[in-house]
Chain A
Amino acid sequence: MLEQLLIFTRGGLILWTCKELGNALRGSPIDTLIRSCLLEERSGAASYNYDAPGAAYTLKWTFHNELGLVFVAVYQRILHLLYVDDLLSMVKQEFSEIYDPKRILYNDFDDIFQQLKKEAEARAEEMKKSKQVGKPVNDNLGRKQGQVQSGSRDGGNKKKGGDDSGKDGGDGNKFKGRTLENGNVNNNHVGKGDAPSKVNINGKEKGASDTRAFDVNKLQKLRSKGGKETKTVVDKGSKEEPKKKITKKNRVWDDKPSESKLDFTDPVSENGEQNISVVATDQGDSMMDKEEIISSDSETEEDEGKGNKVDTGKKGWFSSMFQSIAGKANLDKSDLEPALKALKDRLMTKNVAEEIAEKLCESVAASLDGKRLASFTRISSTVQAAMEEALVRILTPRRSIDILRDVHTAKEQGKPYVVVFVGVNGVGKSTNLAKVAYWLLQHKINVMMAACDTFRSGAVEQLRTHARRLQIPIFEKGYEKDPAIVAKEAIQEASRNGSDVVLVDTAGRMQDNEPLMRALSKLIYVNNPDLVLFVGEALVGNDAVDQLSKFNQKLGDLSPSANPRLIDGILLTKFDTIDDKVGAALSMVYISGAPVMFVGCGQSYTDLKKLNVKSIVKTLLK
């Protein structure tokens, strides 16, 4: 049963709401839908889920791009109403006929809407009935039910008081058989004025059909979920075994005997370099000589894009010229398709992840569908303009990325501003950490580094060298220590010695590595940093999507708190190595919603800059 159906303009004025479904919506689902979905260029998605305290809604929408109208239907998530899409498109059609830009009130639409709703519900029931034909037990009672049902429905159609029966077919739940057309029985919406006998019959039917009916999809989902769980349990088992001991043992990567000594730093002398050369040979066979077990699948360039070259050939040119002069009436999906496909291929040749390019094109198609072509414009230029606008919208940060301002605020409050650098192996975390420290130093801010990469040999020395060159304090505890504890102590030290900013370096880790992600999430939970910066390289291809989504997901799932901290910003590195294949920036921003705060474009201290949205968009669409 629908909670609400709204029609509003793109400028924000509500034109019509269904007065009957007067239930006030809890929270503000419409505003959230607009902010997190439609303005984020995800309008190609099928539906949007909204959770508020006390309600869980699902929202579906459709646009009328020519008139600039949006139609949104809200219903409870536990219901699976099948007729919503149908209803929305019918409402769109009917409303566009009576729409007038000057008019504000549309009270006459109420009756039309009632009719449309009944039609849609009836159609959904028909579909359901044809699906559930072979159910022997339900037949007898079902037939009786059906007769009673149709009787009441006919009566409703004739009379004006169609409220009750209007709500009858509301429930399209796949589980229940045809007997539960009377949606009033389901969940908390008690039907108004329904005969108690009907309710009883339905109650019994519900019980019967529950045990019998099952959804094949759900079974498949359960099966796959079970498979995944066993796999992770096995992984955890092998990797966590050594960690269960009380004393902290070395991290065992792949079942080889652990080395006796990992920490080669000489605590006395500053010249650690000399000592390292002496002990280098004692480490045994290096990983190069062993079989490669983990293969990273990042940095694969897109070569699919080149394969699907669409020929917008000669026929296309002539008809597009003609259409451009005549100004074709309305665009529909088939017209947009070739132009969108060409754009998608172009985006993919610029190293945008395939999934992201696809979603973007769908969103642009949704926003242009049904729009009237202005005369003297070609379809491709309209599509390009729409895509450009969409790209600028995505890349423009949602909130301010003025770090200096945040640092000053934290300074006033008397606590240090903590930044944690996370990312996979080898993207440039330590290098860019030094660059950020240099930049902050130039703005007269006291910086302190915290060496929480306690795994990789040389990580602490690397930071120590940077700290020496920049003349800033560094907090380190050597290797084999728990990074979360090191970070905590570093922050305490910073508040003691008056540092404004603490930059925390962590070890690189793959997004699939469960124990390491758990350790990272613990570090973030324990220390509650002000900024979690994901460091990603611009060379990455489709893996960017996987990296970011898995990082965010793991940070959310594995955190013991109710409001887990997710990735707040992105630092894009190695930007000087790509000349114009700048798509990784787009993929990362789209999938995570976090803004790009810095761009690293070289290996010296000054090679740090901000993302220039306009130039990126221009390069992407060139």
Chain B
Amino acid sequence: MDKVKVEELKIQLQQLLNEAQEFFRKIPPPQLYAAIGVVLFTVLLFLIIRLFKRRSSNTILLTGLSGSGKTVLFYQLRDGSSHQGTVTSMEPNEGTFVLHSETSKKGKMKPVHIVDVPGHSRLRAKLDKFLSQAAGIVFVVDAVEFLPNVRAASEYLYDILTKASVVKKKIPLLILCNKVDKVTAHTKDFIRRQLEKEIDKLRASRTSLSSADITNEYSLGVPGEAFAFSQCQNKVTVAEASGLTNDISQLEQFIREYVKA
């Protein structure tokens, strides 16, 4: 029984194929070529548009050491308050939204995709996933507890600055000194100079590791000169903010600069 049915199906398919072939032959050649040309053209158009869209992505990454205040800043940007407080993040916080301070403005504002990556050293691997789509990186530094953590912070910053995706795409980086509402917070110039000094030392020790598997793909700065952020291929700026008191205007400026409304 089955064999008969299969045979019948086969015959039907054959008939359909023949009919299709005759149909195609009936169409005059120019029309056929024109039809194929249109199809190919639209396909190409879509691909090009997709490429362009990817260039202007709207993702901003919030990174930094654990405890620097990234999750608080994320919720400030989104809701205008940090609610009941935060604890050490175990997973990234993502959200696409219009910045809270701009919800009152008139006109259509383009939503921003903000990702808060956990700063704990064991979770560093999660950063790489988001780096490829980032339009801008915010490196949050705790301005109060800066000196005890300066080494860890500069190592993390050095790792980010030497990643291939950051250097090639010239992703702009903002070093945000958080918790400036506290009295003992350091100034942003001090922080910038300290970071430059530490990264300078790191350059010397990291590039000399030849036997190990190298994770830093590019080297920073000009050899022989002291390192300064102005030597980086991507733009690096420094700003201040305070997560708890919602003083984040400089951060929002940076975001709006690179994610066009």
In the assembled complex, B253 has its CB within 8 A of some CB on chain A: no
**Which residue of A35, A405, A606 is within 8 Å of B201 (Cβ)?**
A405
Contact across chains for A400 and B205 when beta carbons are under 8 A apart: no
Contact across chains for B90 and A38 when beta carbons are under 8 A apart: yes
Contact across chains for A104 and B91 when beta carbons are under 8 A apart: no
Contact across chains for A408 and B206 when beta carbons are under 8 A apart: no
Indicate with 1 or 0, residue by residue over A390-416, a CB within 8 angstroms of chain B CB atoms.
001110111110101100100000000
Which residues of chain A are within 8 angstroms of B189 by Cβ–Cβ distance?
A: none
Contact across chains for A399 and B152 when beta carbons are under 8 A apart: yes
In the assembled complex, A609 has its CB within 8 A of some CB on chain B: yes
Contact across chains for A34 and B90 when beta carbons are under 8 A apart: yes
Contact across chains for B87 and A31 when beta carbons are under 8 A apart: yes
**Which residue of A38, A397, A609 is within 8 Å of B212 (Cβ)?**
A609
In the assembled complex, A175 has its CB within 8 A of some CB on chain B: no
Contact across chains for B211 and A439 when beta carbons are under 8 A apart: yes
- CB proximity to A under 8 Å, residues B65-95: 66-67, 71, 75, 79, 83-93
Which residues of chain A are within 8 angstroms of B151 by Cβ–Cβ distance?
A: 400, 405
**Which residue of B84, B89, B155 is within 8 Å of A17 (Cβ)?**
B84
In the assembled complex, A14 has its CB within 8 A of some CB on chain B: yes
Q: How far is the CA of A104 from the CA of B201 in the complex (A)?
A: 44
**Which residue of B79, B87, B205 is within 8 Å of A12 (Cβ)?**
B87
Contact across chains for B122 and A39 when beta carbons are under 8 A apart: yes
- CB proximity to B under 8 Å, residues A505-540: none
Contact across chains for A398 and B122 when beta carbons are under 8 A apart: yes
Q: How far is the CA of A70 from the CA of B212 in the complex (A)?
A: 39
Contact across chains for A396 and B155 when beta carbons are under 8 A apart: no
Closest to B205 in A: A404
Contact across chains for A396 and B91 when beta carbons are under 8 A apart: no
Indicate with 1 or 0, residue by residue over A35-60, a CB within 8 angstroms of chain B CB atoms.
10011100000000000000000000
Q: How far is the CA of A6 from the CA of B86 in the complex (A)?
A: 11
Q: How far is the CA of A105 from the CA of B116 in the complex (A)?
A: 21
Listed in ascending order, the chain B residues whose CB lies under 8 Å from chain A are: 66-67, 71, 75, 79, 83-93, 116, 118, 120-125, 151-152, 155, 201-202, 204-206, 208-209, 211-213
Contact across chains for B122 and A12 when beta carbons are under 8 A apart: no
Q: Known interface pairs A39-B123, A393-B123, A399-B152. Does A31 touch B88 (Cβ–Cβ under 8 Å)?
A: yes
Q: How far is the CA of A68 from the CA of B93 in the complex (A)?
A: 11
In angstroms, how far is the closest chain A Cβ from the Cβ of B188? 25
**Which residue of B87, B116, B152 is within 8 Å of A8 (Cβ)?**
B87
Can you give 18 A-B contacts (C-beta < 8 A)? A8-B86, A11-B90, A12-B89, A12-B90, A13-B75, A13-B93, A17-B84, A30-B88, A34-B88, A39-B123, A396-B125, A398-B122, A400-B152, A405-B205, A408-B201, A408-B204, A608-B211, A609-B211
Indicate with 1 or 0, residue by residue over A277-313, a CB within 8 angstroms of chain B CB atoms.
0000000000000000000000000000000000000
In angstroms, how far is the closest chain A Cβ from the Cβ of B162? 14
In angstroms, how far is the closest chain B Cβ from the Cβ of A310? 31
In angstroms, how far is the closest chain B Cβ from the Cβ of A124? 28
Which residues of chain A are within 8 angstroms of B66 by Cβ–Cβ distance?
A: 35
Which residues of chain A are within 8 angstroms of B208 by Cβ–Cβ distance?
A: 404, 443
Closest to A104 in B: B83
Closest to B66 in A: A35
Which residues of chain A are within 8 angstroms of B91 by Cβ–Cβ distance?
A: 10-11, 68
Q: How far is the CA of A527 from the CA of B122 in the complex (A)?
A: 31
Q: Known interface pairs A11-B116, A402-B155. Does A34 touch B87 (Cβ–Cβ under 8 Å)?
A: yes
Q: How far is the CA of A610 from the CA of B84 in the complex (A)?
A: 43
Which residues of chain B are within 8 angstroms of A12 by Cβ–Cβ distance?
A: 71, 86-90, 93, 118
In angstroms, how far is the closest chain B Cβ from the Cβ of A23? 16
Q: How far is the CA of A402 from the CA of B123 in the complex (A)?
A: 18
Q: Known interface pairs A11-B93, A34-B90, A39-B120. Does A16 touch B211 (Cβ–Cβ under 8 Å)?
A: no
In the assembled complex, A612 has its CB within 8 A of some CB on chain B: yes
Which residues of chain A are within 8 angstroms of B87 by Cβ–Cβ distance?
A: 6, 8, 12, 14, 30-31, 34
Closest to A30 in B: B87
Q: Known interface pairs A14-B86, A35-B88, A608-B211. Does A402 touch B116 (Cβ–Cβ under 8 Å)?
A: no
Indicate with 1 or 0, residue by residue over A581-622, a CB within 8 angstroms of chain B CB atoms.
000000000000000000000000010111010000000000
Q: Which of A11, A15, A408 has the most CB of B within 10 A?
A: A11
Q: How far is the CA of A403 from the CA of B257 in the complex (A)?
A: 40
Contact across chains for B213 and A610 when beta carbons are under 8 A apart: yes
Contact across chains for B88 and A14 when beta carbons are under 8 A apart: no
- CB proximity to B under 8 Å, residues A100-138: 104-105
Listed in ascending order, the chain A residues whose CB lies under 8 Å from chain B are: 6, 8, 10-17, 30-31, 34-35, 38-40, 68, 70, 104-105, 392-394, 396-400, 402, 404-405, 408, 439, 443, 606, 608-610, 612
Q: How far is the CA of A10 from the CA of B90 in the complex (A)?
A: 5
Which residues of chain A are within 8 angstroms of B155 by Cβ–Cβ distance?
A: 400, 402
Closest to B152 in A: A400
Contact across chains for B212 and A610 when beta carbons are under 8 A apart: yes
Q: How far is the CA of A393 from the CA of B83 in the complex (A)?
A: 30
Contact across chains for B209 and A39 when beta carbons are under 8 A apart: no
Which residues of chain B are within 8 angstroms of A408 by Cβ–Cβ distance?
A: 201, 204-205
Which residues of chain A are within 8 angstroms of B71 by Cβ–Cβ distance?
A: 11-13
Contact across chains for B201 and A16 when beta carbons are under 8 A apart: no
Q: How far is the CA of A392 from the CA of B121 in the complex (A)?
A: 12
Which residues of chain A are within 8 angstroms of B211 by Cβ–Cβ distance?
A: 439, 606, 608-609
Q: How far is the CA of A439 from the CA of B86 in the complex (A)?
A: 44
**Which residue of B83, B120, B202 is within 8 Å of A14 (Cβ)?**
B83
Closest to A444 in B: B208
Q: How far is the CA of A354 from the CA of B167 in the complex (A)?
A: 45
Contact across chains for B79 and A104 when beta carbons are under 8 A apart: yes
Closest to A35 in B: B88
Which residues of chain B are within 8 angstroms of A394 by Cβ–Cβ distance?
A: 122
Contact across chains for B89 and A11 when beta carbons are under 8 A apart: yes
Which residues of chain B are within 8 angstroms of A608 by Cβ–Cβ distance?
A: 211
Q: How far is the CA of A231 from the CA of B124 in the complex (A)?
A: 47
In angstroms, how far is the closest chain B Cβ from the Cβ of A519? 34
Closest to A606 in B: B211
Closest to A39 in B: B122
In angstroms, how far is the closest chain B Cβ from the Cβ of A4? 12
In angstroms, how far is the closest chain A Cβ from the Cβ of B124? 7
Contact across chains for B205 and A402 when beta carbons are under 8 A apart: yes
Q: How far is the CA of A39 from the CA of B124 in the complex (A)?
A: 12
**Which residue of A13, A31, A397 is within 8 Å of B83 (Cβ)?**
A13
In angstroms, how far is the closest chain A Cβ from the Cβ of B208? 6
Q: How far is the CA of A8 from the CA of B83 in the complex (A)?
A: 12
Q: How far is the CA of A349 from the CA of B181 in the complex (A)?
A: 55
Q: How far is the CA of A35 from the CA of B152 in the complex (A)?
A: 16
**Which residue of A15, A393, A439 is within 8 Å of B84 (Cβ)?**
A15
Which residues of chain B are within 8 angstroms of A606 by Cβ–Cβ distance?
A: 211
Which residues of chain A are within 8 angstroms of B93 by Cβ–Cβ distance?
A: 11-13
Q: How far is the CA of A70 from the CA of B88 in the complex (A)?
A: 12
A13-B83, A105-B83, A392-B125 given. 18 additional CB < 8 A pairs?
A: A12-B71, A12-B87, A12-B118, A13-B93, A14-B85, A14-B87, A30-B88, A34-B87, A34-B88, A35-B66, A38-B90, A70-B90, A396-B122, A399-B152, A405-B202, A609-B211, A609-B212, A610-B213
**Which residue of A10, A393, A612 is within 8 Å of B122 (Cβ)?**
A393
In angstroms, how far is the closest chain A Cβ from the Cβ of B97? 11
Closest to B201 in A: A408
Closest to B79 in A: A104
Q: How far is the CA of A612 from the CA of B212 in the complex (A)?
A: 9
Which residues of chain B are within 8 angstroms of A68 by Cβ–Cβ distance?
A: 91
Which residues of chain B are within 8 angstroms of A397 by Cβ–Cβ distance?
A: 121
Closest to B83 in A: A104
Q: How far is the CA of A508 from the CA of B162 in the complex (A)?
A: 42
Closest to B71 in A: A12
Q: How far is the CA of A399 from the CA of B79 in the complex (A)?
A: 34
**Which residue of A11, A38, A70 is within 8 Å of B92 (Cβ)?**
A11
Q: Which of A12, A38, A402 has the most CB of B within 10 A?
A: A12
Q: How far is the CA of A30 from the CA of B88 in the complex (A)?
A: 8
Which residues of chain A are within 8 angstroms of B116 by Cβ–Cβ distance?
A: 11
Contact across chains for A398 and B85 when beta carbons are under 8 A apart: no
Q: How far is the CA of A606 from the CA of B89 in the complex (A)?
A: 41
